[in-house]
């Protein structure tokens, strides 16, 4: 079983309740990246939307996904879902996204790990684009593929 790698970063601006997110998907012989943003959302909802978009972009199949992020909240999503499923305290906000993510995480092996954002890594690339996306999201929601010429500049891919 091969693995697809995803690096996901988000940048939130409380004054505008705006978020920008970016993820890099590497696997199957290619690397692609997307950026998006939302306005007038809570930080939690924005992060869950970003995670949902990243997981949807991965090709269907049984290949493992290794998702790497510097965001502490995103790294705890599988644990939060597992605790709620086993009778623990469940969140009352964003139930639609929690349900969709619970289904997505149960459908295939996904390992979410937290990392630092060292220069010259896919995480640093995603972080820089997330900040640009956050600023663009002040004007309203969007989602777009990052041009291949920019993606080709990503360093540190396995």
Whether 156 is covered by a domain: the verdict is no
The pLDDT of residue 156: 84
Whether 157 is covered by a domain: the verdict is no
The pLDDT of residue 91: 74
The pLDDT of residue 36: 96
Domain count along the chain: 1
Whether 36 is covered by a domain: the verdict is yes
CATH number at residue 129: 3.30.420.10
Whether 158 is covered by a domain: the verdict is no
Whether 42 is covered by a domain: the verdict is yes
Contact yes or no for 17/141 (Cβ under 8 A):
no
Determine if the pTM surpasses 0.85. Answer: yes
Whether 33 is covered by a domain: the verdict is yes
Q: Cα-flanking dihedrals φ and ψ of residue 115, to 5°?
A: -140, 175
Q: For residues 21 and 38, what is the distance between their CA atoms, to the nearest angstrom? A: 9
The pLDDT of residue 2: 65
Whether 104 is covered by a domain: the verdict is yes
The pLDDT of residue 126: 95
State both tokens at 15: 């004054």
Block residue for tokens 């996306």? 133
Whether 31 is covered by a domain: the verdict is yes
The pLDDT of residue 90: 67
Reduced to 3 states, what is the DSSP secondary structure of residue 104?
helix
Q: What is the pLDDT along the chain (158 residues), one digit of tens a residue?
A: 468 999 999 999 998 899 999 999 999 889 999 999 999 998 889 899 999 999 999 888 878 899 999 999 998 998 888 888 787 676 778 889 999 999 988 888 889 999 887 888 899 999 999 999 999 999 999 999 999 999 999 988 88
Q: Can you give the residue range of the structural domain that contains 92? A: 3-151
């Amino acid at each position: 079983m091969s693995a697809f790698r995803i690096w996901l970063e988000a940048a939130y601006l409380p004054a505008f309740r705006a978020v920008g997110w970016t993820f890099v998907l590497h696997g199957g012989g290619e690397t692609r990246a997307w950026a998006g943003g939302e306005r007038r959302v809570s930080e939690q909802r924005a992060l869950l939307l970003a995670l949902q978009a990243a997981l949807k972009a991965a090709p269907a199949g049984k290949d493992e996904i290794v998702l790497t992020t510097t965001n502490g909240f995103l790294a705890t999503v599988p644990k939060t879902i597992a605790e709620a499923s086993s009778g623990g305290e469940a969140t009352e906000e964003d139930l639609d996204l929690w349900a969709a993510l619970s289904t997505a995480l149960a459908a295939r092996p996904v390992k979410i790990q937290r990392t630092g954002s060292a220069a010259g890594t896919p995480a640093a690339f995603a972080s820089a684009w997330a900040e640009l996306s956050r600023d663009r999201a002040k004007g309203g929601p969007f989602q777009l593929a990052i041009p291949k010429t920019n993606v080709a500049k990503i360093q540190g891919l396995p």
